Structures are given as structure tokens and as C-alpha cells.
């Protein structure tokens, strides 16, 4: 397998740079966390130390997300023959990151006076076994995932003719493998490991990983081959504006996801603290924030519909989708007004109105939003076919089927969860997995269609 350094190198180098920065954040946060833990134990500064430890956890978590993004970008920059290793590494590292997020939320809830892990406690209130299982699973996933990532790096570097030095590579792989033994020993009640060895091995593994990544990155070219001259007859500037509009639409959806996740986490913490006023405030804040972000999404979709060339296929479907999104936005404004009025006025009558009316208003908004997405998918498929990106047009087909099916599954689950019993859990799991796939697929499709339009206009994607 040959890898063209001029073609694959710059993108892989950029991904490695993000990966290195993320690991550096994780390493710095980890070393600081170790130091804080030792100071807390030595001077019994538990209260102050807990808050500082929380900051360290947030740094480690942020580094994890940066590193994961870099690993994904690096894997995408390599040939498809290495895709299996890259996807395996990304999946396992993502699992470890999810465990880190769970423990960070639990730490934050404990600072708020509650423990999220109480939900998983046994009848005597002990959740140690749960913590051991989840923590050990996360560490095992990270160890195997980083091992796969190291193999990926060495294979790519060897194919480029600049392999990572054997001593460095095997040292990093060995330290990562040794880390795998620690959760196993803890979970199986094996011999205790001195804290110096435990923490030292964790730090050594991250340091060696950093050195491997930096060595590989230095061997990659910073710039690709000179781009071929653009054929002015093929470039059509009319596609630039709708391409930029889809980029805005894509950013709006990503921001809305972040707002929803953050709002959910804050809601869990507020609920755990049993502070009713805090819960009300967070619900109002999230509702208003979501409405503002939906303005960005709406602006991107309307610009796309308006700025498509007049005779372009898909313009009518885009205009229909934009119109439905406007109606959906107005319905969501009505839902926000209900929430703000109910929690802002403090009147019991408004709370009852919210309980009765909100499900219907939200249901109408979700139905309109579904039809808007289907109309936009039709537009994306027709536009992609017109600019001869038939691969993108084919990708719309699966989503056109998946979205209505998921909507029906959601209705069935919501209406009959009590009657379905254990089957409801399986149905809910299928719905969650399907919804996650559809969300990721839709975001990637919007990004790629926008990039294809900008490329057709002669702009960088």
C-alpha cells in the first residue's frame, strides 16, 4: 500500500497537530490532578481541592475531545485501506471519553450536594461496584484504542518511508499495554499497585504517545502539491452563495446540539441539587437559547433556498423546506412563551397550561420540522445530481427513509412504553442508535453538499 505524502501528508499533519494538542491538555490536566490529590491528602484541603480537581477534570475532558477530533481528522486523511484501524481507535477512545464525561458530571453533582451515581447504587447505597465496572471499561477502551492508534501511526509512517523509531514506538505501545493491567488488577481484586507506579505509568504512556505523534508529524509535508489551475469554464460562481449558506446552516445545527447537551447536563445537576428555582431558571435559559440558535439555522436554510440559481433543480423543494422551517420556528417560539410564562409568573394556572399545551405544541413543531428536513433532503439530492455529485445524491435516499421510520418508532415508544414492558427498552435503544446515526449522517451530508457547491464555484471547501 502506497501513501502519497504530498496528497495525504498536509491533512494528516493538521490532524496530528490537533491530536498532539489534545494529548498535551490531557497530560497537563492529569499531572495537575495528581498534584492536587497529593496536596489534598497531605493538608486535608478537601473542599478547596475538590473544586480545583473539578477544573483539572474539565481540562482533561476538553483535551480528550480535542484529541479525538485530531485522531478522526488524521484517520480521514489516510487511504481507505487504513480505515478499519482508524475507525476502531476512534470508537474505543470515544467510549473512554463518554466514561470520563460521566465521572465529570458525577464530580460536579457531588459539588452541588448530590451524587448522580446514587441512581446506580445497590439497596444498601453502595455504588462502588458500578464505578469499578464503568471505570475499568473506560480504561480498557482507552488502552486498546490508543494501541490501535499507535499501530495506525506506525503503518502510515512506514508506508511513507519514515517509520517512527522502533524504541519509541515499542516503548509507547508497551506503556499503553501496561496501563491495561491496572484496571484489570483493580477489578479482579489483584495485588495493589503503589500510587507512584500507578500515576507514573499513566504519565509515561501519555508522554511517549506525544513523542510518537510529534516524530510522525515532523516527517509529513506541511504543504501539498501545487493545485491545478482552475478551469474557468467549469467553475460557476452562482453556487458559492448557497454553499456558504449551507455552511451557516450546518454550524447552527452543531451549536443547537451543544446547547441541548449542555442544557441536559445542567438540568441533571439542578435536579440532583433539588433546587426548584434553579431547575426553573435552567429550563427557561435553555428554551430561550435554543430559540436564538434556531434563528441561525433558519437564516442558513432561507439563504440556501433564496440563493440557489433560479432554474436549478431543487430550488422549489428548498423553498418549501425553508417555509416549513419558518412555521416550525414560530411554533417553537410559542412553546418558549409557554415555558417562560409558566416558570416566570409563578402562577399555578400557567403551570397547568404548560402541562396540557406544551406536548401538543412541541409535537406540532416536531412534525413540521420532519417535513422540512424531508423537503431539504429532496433539494440536496437534486442539487447534488445536477452538479454530478451522484454519491451525495445517493446518500439522501437512506435518510429519506430513516427519518419517517424513526419518527414512527418515537411515537410508538412514547405512546406505549408502559404496555410494552421490557420490549420498550429494546425499542428505545433501537430508536436512540438510529437517531444518533441519522443525526451524524445528516450533518455530514449538509457539510459535504455545501463543500461540493463551494468547490463547484471554484472556492476552497
Residues 6 or more apart whose CB falls under 8 angstroms from that of 95 comprise 137, 138, 141, 145
Q: In the prediction, which pLDDT does 229 show?
A: 45
Q: In the prediction, which pLDDT does 231 show?
A: 43
**Are residue 300 and residue 434 in the same domain, yes or no?**
yes
Residue 446 falls inside a structural domain: yes
Averaged pLDDT, 10-19: 86
Residues in the chain: 461
Q: In the prediction, which pLDDT does 303 show?
A: 93
**Are residue 296 and residue 337 in the same domain, yes or no?**
yes
**Are residue 72 and residue 171 in the same domain, yes or no?**
yes
Residue 171 above 80 pLDDT? yes
Residue 277 above 70 pLDDT? no
* Cα–Cα distance measured from residue 57 to residue 29, given in angstroms and rounded to the nearest whole number: 7
Q: In the prediction, which pLDDT does 226 show?
A: 47
Residues 6 or more apart whose CB falls under 8 angstroms from that of 441 comprise 395, 398, 399, 402
Residue 443 above 90 pLDDT? yes
Residue 86 falls inside a structural domain: yes
Residue 417 above 60 pLDDT? no
Residue 227 falls inside a structural domain: no
Q: What is the pLDDT of residues 193-229, one digit of tens each?
A: 666 777 788 888 999 999 999 998 888 876 655 444 4
Among 184, 218, 252, where does a domain finish? 218
**Are residue 273 and residue 302 in the same domain, yes or no?**
yes
The CB-based long-range contact list for 408-417 (8 Å cut-off, 24+ gap) reads 409/434, 410/435
Higher pLDDT, 288 or 188: 288
Look up the domain containing 270 and give its range. Answer: 237-456
**Are residue 151 and residue 272 in the same domain, yes or no?**
no
Averaged pLDDT, 170-192: 73
Residues 6 or more apart whose CB falls under 8 angstroms from that of 6 comprise 221, 224, 225
Averaged pLDDT, 162-189: 78
**Are residue 136 and residue 275 in the same domain, yes or no?**
no
Q: In the prediction, which pLDDT does 159 show?
A: 82
Averaged pLDDT, 425-439: 79
Q: In the prediction, which pLDDT does 251 show?
A: 92
Looking at 229-238, 350-359, 395-404, which range is the least confident one?
A: 229-238
Residue 229 falls inside a structural domain: no
**Are residue 324 and residue 413 in the same domain, yes or no?**
yes
Residues 6 or more apart whose CB falls under 8 angstroms from that of 197 comprise none
Higher pLDDT, 316 or 231: 316
Number of compact structural domains in the chain: 2
Q: 364 by DSSP, 3-state: which?
A: helix
Residue ranges of alpha helices (H) inside 274-389 are 276-307, 315-345, 348-386
* HSE value, Cβ hemisphere, 13 Å, CA-based, for 454: 15
**Are residue 295 and residue 193 in the same domain, yes or no?**
no
Residue 223 falls inside a structural domain: no
Residues 6 or more apart whose CB falls under 8 angstroms from that of 308 comprise 242, 314, 315, 318, 379, 383
Q: Which residue has the cell 441561525?
A: 296
Averaged pLDDT, 242-246: 92
**If pLDDT is split at 50, 70 and 90, which confidence band does 127 have?**
very low
Residue 244 falls inside a structural domain: yes
**Are residue 205 and residue 294 in the same domain, yes or no?**
no
* Cα–Cα distance measured from residue 245 to residue 196, given in angstroms and rounded to the nearest whole number: 54
Burial environment of residue 75 by CB neighbours within 10 A (0 to 12, 13 to 18, 19 or more): buried
Burial environment of residue 272 by CB neighbours within 10 A (0 to 12, 13 to 18, 19 or more): buried
Q: What is the pLDDT of residues 374-406, one digit of tens each?
A: 999 999 999 999 988 888 888 898 899 888 888
Residue 328 falls inside a structural domain: yes
What average pLDDT does the chain have? 78
**Are residue 330 and residue 303 in the same domain, yes or no?**
yes
Residue 43 above 70 pLDDT? no
**Are residue 247 and residue 208 in the same domain, yes or no?**
no
* Cα–Cα distance measured from residue 116 to residue 110, given in angstroms and rounded to the nearest whole number: 8
Amino acid at each position: 500500500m502506497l501513501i502519497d505524502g504530498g496528497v495525504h501528508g498536509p491533512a494528516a499533519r493538521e490532524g496530528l497537530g490537533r491530536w498532539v494538542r489534545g494529548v498535551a491538555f490531557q497530560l497537563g490536566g492529569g499531572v495537575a490532578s495528581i498534584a492536587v490529590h497529593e496536596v489534598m491528602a497531605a493538608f486535608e484541603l478537601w473542599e478547596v481541592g475538590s473544586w480545583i480537581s473539578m477544573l483539572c477534570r474539565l481540562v482533561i475532558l476538553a483535551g480528550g475531545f480535542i484529541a479525538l477530533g485530531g485522531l478522526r481528522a488524521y484517520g480521514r486523511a489516510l487511504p481507505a485501506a487504513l480505515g478499519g484501524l482508524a475507525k476502531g481507535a476512534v470508537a474505543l477512545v470515544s467510549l473512554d471519553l463518554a466514561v470520563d464525561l460521566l465521572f465529570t458530571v458525577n464530580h460536579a453533582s457531588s459539588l452541588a450536594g448530590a451524587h448522580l451515581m446514587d441512581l446506580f447504587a445497590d439497596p444498601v447505597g453502595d455504588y462502588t461496584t458500578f464505578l469499578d465496572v464503568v471505570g475499568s471499561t473506560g480504561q480498557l477502551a482507552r488502552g486498546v484504542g490508543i494501541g490501535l492508534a499507535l499501530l495506525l501511526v506506525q503503518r502510515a509512517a512506514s508506508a511513507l518511508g519514515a517509520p517512527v523509531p522502533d524504541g519509541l514506538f515499542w516503548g509507547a505501545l508497551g506503556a499503553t499495554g501496561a496501563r491495561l493491567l491496572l484496571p484489570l488488577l483493580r477489578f479482579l481484586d489483584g495485588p495493589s499497585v503503589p500510587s507512584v507506579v500507578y500515576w507514573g505509568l499513566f504519565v509515561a504512556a501519555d508522554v511517549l504517545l506525544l513523542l510518537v505523534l510529534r516524530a510522525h508529524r515532523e516527517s509529513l509535508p506541511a504543504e501539498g502539491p501545487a493545485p491545478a489551475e482552475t478551469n474557468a469554464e467549469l467553475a460557476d460562481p452562482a453556487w458559492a452563495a448557497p454553499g456558504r449558506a449551507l455552511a451557516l446552516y450546518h454550524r447552527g445545527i452543531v451549536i443547537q446540539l451543544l446547547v441541548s447537551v449542555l442544557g441536559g447536563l445542567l438540568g441533571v445537576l439542578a435536579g440532583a441539587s433539588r433546587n426548584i428555582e434553579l431547575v426553573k431558571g435552567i429550563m427557561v435559559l435553555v428554551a430561550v437559547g435554543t430559540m436564538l440558535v434556531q434563528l441561525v439555522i433558519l437564516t442558513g436554510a432561507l439563504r440556501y433556498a433564496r440563493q440557489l440559481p433560479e432554474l436549478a433543480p431543487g430550488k422549489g423543494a428548498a423553498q418549501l423546506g425553508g417555509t416549513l422551517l419558518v412555521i416550525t420556528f414560530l411554533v417553537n417560539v410559542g412553546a418558549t412563551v409557554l415555558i417562560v410564562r409558566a416558570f416566570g409568573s409563578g402562577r399555578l394556572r400557567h403551570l397547568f397550561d404548560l402541562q396540557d399545551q406544551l406536548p401538543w405544541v412541541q409535537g406540532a413543531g416536531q412534525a413540521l420540522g420532519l417535513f422540512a428536513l424531508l423537503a431539504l433532503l429532496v433539494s440536496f439530492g437534486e442539487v447534488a445530481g445536477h452538479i454530478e455529485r451522484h454519491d451525495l445524491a445517493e446518500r439522501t435516499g437512506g435518510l429519506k427513509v430513516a427519518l419517517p421510520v424513526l419518527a414512527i418508532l418515537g411515537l410508538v415508544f412514547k405512546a406505549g412504553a408502559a404496555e410494552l414492558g421490557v420490549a420498550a427498552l429494546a425499542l428505545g435503544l433501537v430508536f436512540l442508535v438510529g437517531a444518533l446515526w441519522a443525526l451524524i449522517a445528516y450533518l455530514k451530508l449538509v457539510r459535504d453538499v455545501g463543500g461540493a457547491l463551494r468547490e463547484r464555484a471554484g472556492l476552497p471547501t
